Amino acid sequence: MTFPAAALLLLAAASAADAHLAAWSKGMFCKNDLSTTDQPNAALAIQPLYNQTFANWWFHGPCINYPPPSGEFLNIPANGNFTVEIAANRAFTTLSYNGAKSSAWPDGKAHPDNYNTNNVDPMFPLTSTGCLSSPNLHAHNVSDAAGTAFAISYNNDITKAQVSDFTVFSVLQNTPWKRIATYQVPNLPACPTGGCLCAWAWIPNHCGQDNMYFNGYRCQVTGALASAKAVASPSPPVWCESDQGSCLVGAKQFTIQYQQEGNNVKLPGGFQKDGSWPSPGYNSKMGFTAGAQTDIFSNAVAAATPNTCPNPSTTVTVQFVKTSTVTSTSTVVVTATASAAKVTSSAAAVTTSTSAKATSSAAARRSFFARREFYHPIME
Ligand SMILES: *[C@@H]1O[C@H](CO)[C@@H](O)[C@H](O)[C@H]1NC(C)=O
Ligand SMILES: *[C@@H]1O[C@H](CO)[C@@H](O)[C@H](O)[C@H]1NC(C)=O
Ligand SMILES: *[C@@H]1O[C@H](CO)[C@@H](O)[C@H](O)[C@H]1NC(C)=O
């Protein structure tokens, strides 16, 4: 695929700076930036989201059109854990160069174990706001790292899934920090055929521009128990820093903040306890406990949904016929358990979305890169 020259420049600038972070793993959208070939230096996914329209932050804007290859998932073991690599560039993970450029830290560099702003690495002077500059952790020290989260949607239709379909199921406190990040998983039920959608989210506690991070994944729950309860419909999280008794217990959405559209959290006036503006991170201020979120289930046992994982795939070639003219030929991969009815309806969905998708994806890409402020210089 070819990029407009301006886009290439922006991408190059993004990878040169030790800017920002994403959770890299199999199954992620934009693992190869806006390309369908291997991009070991991919870094679009790390761009923070600030003052964006819904279309520009949801699934990280144009990344929504760059899903993982068919059949590739981030595996989420029910009642277990899974590991992703938090890094400023795919180059600094084991997904690139056999891990040769990776270190214990998200920037591929060496730092002291007790890295903090009172123990500064002379190679990496502090930012102008006095925070660690590399990796760009938006923090002074590990206890200042705001926390990151994974959310899951059992609606796996990328064209229809909504914010209200995503429930935060795991919080890793005091992250992002080092590259390896292991998230604990509650008793999640199996995903429908085709897996689930997942999202990684982070809202830093200041230390630079107030940003939101949101990356998408195709994921699947492995080892799910047949008795697992369905995930309840999630509500937006609620600020409860100074009154922990008022925290919202139960299924919570991920937090949307600092955007032009979609913000779902009310913040109090004044300051939070540390003296800065209220920052709605994945921590006790928003009623999130550390680890697996075990309070997210409804009382109903989840509907039996086949997990596609162990099933072999079958490739079927389908011709889409419109007003007796062949308009396109497409390959649809279905699992052995999918019914004929499913194939028909998925073919119909592809027919209706193919041309619209192509147009909207090109338009989205243009507008994304036209929005220079998306790559606004980060005030640190
Ligand atoms: C957000 O974006 C809009 C439209 O691009 C712009 O008018 C506004 O000034 C921006 N706000 C901030 C706080 O940057
Ligand atoms: C993750 O799960 C593995 C396998 O069950 C276990 O050995 C390991 O201790 C767990 N790691 C964390 C950080 O929970
Ligand atoms: C971490 O940074 C915060 C914010 O500057 C500070 O309040 C706190 O004392 C620091 N903690 C440690 C252990 O240095």
What are 120-158's pLDDT values in tens digits?
888 999 999 999 999 999 999 999 999 999 999 999 999
Residues at CB less than 6 angstroms from ligand 2: 80-81, 182
257 C-alpha to ligand 3 centroid (Å): 24
116 C-alpha to ligand 3 centroid (Å): 8
pLDDT of residue 305: 60
Q: What's the pLDDT tens digit per position in 29-56? A: 999 999 999 999 999 999 999 999 999 9
Which ligand places an atom closest to the C-alpha of 77?
2
306 C-alpha to ligand 2 centroid (Å): 26
Q: Which atom of ligand 1 is nearest to the CA of 376?
A: 14
Q: What is the DSSP letter of 29?
A: T
- Mean pLDDT within 301-326: 45
- Rounded percentage of the chain residues whose pLDDT exceeds 90: 71
260 lines ligand 1 (CB under 6 A): yes
Please check whether residue 307 is in contact with residue 191, taking contact to mean a CB–CB distance below 8 angstroms: yes
Best substitution site from 131, 141, 274 to test ligand 3's pocket, by max atoms within 8 Å of Cβ? Answer: 141
pLDDT of residue 200: 98
Kindly report which listed range (142-156, 290-304, 306-320) carries the lowest average pLDDT score: 306-320
| Nearest of 84, 52, 64 to residue 159 by alpha carbon | 64
Q: What's the pLDDT tens digit per position in 347-363? A: 333 333 333 333 344 44
Which ligand places an atom closest to the C-alpha of 222?
2
Checking if the pLDDT of 324 tops 50, the result is no
Q: Which helix (H) or strand (E) holds 218?
A: strand 213-222
Q: Which helix (H) or strand (E) holds 84?
A: strand 81-87
Q: Is the pTM of this model over 0.85?
A: no
pLDDT of residue 13: 36
pLDDT of residue 322: 35
Which residues, in sequence order, are CB contacts of 260 under 8 Å at separation 6+?
A: 51, 52, 53
State the SS3 of 281-337: CCCHHHCCCCEECCCCEEEEECCCCCCCCCCCEEEEEEEEEECCEEEEEEEEEEECC
> Which tokens hold the place of 155?
């609606």
Which ligand places an atom closest to the C-alpha of 51?
1
pLDDT of residue 19: 65
Q: Which helix (H) or strand (E) holds 81?
A: strand 81-87
Which residues, in sequence order, are CB contacts of 91 under 8 Å at separation 6+?
A: 15, 40, 41, 97, 101, 108
- Mean pLDDT within 331-337: 35
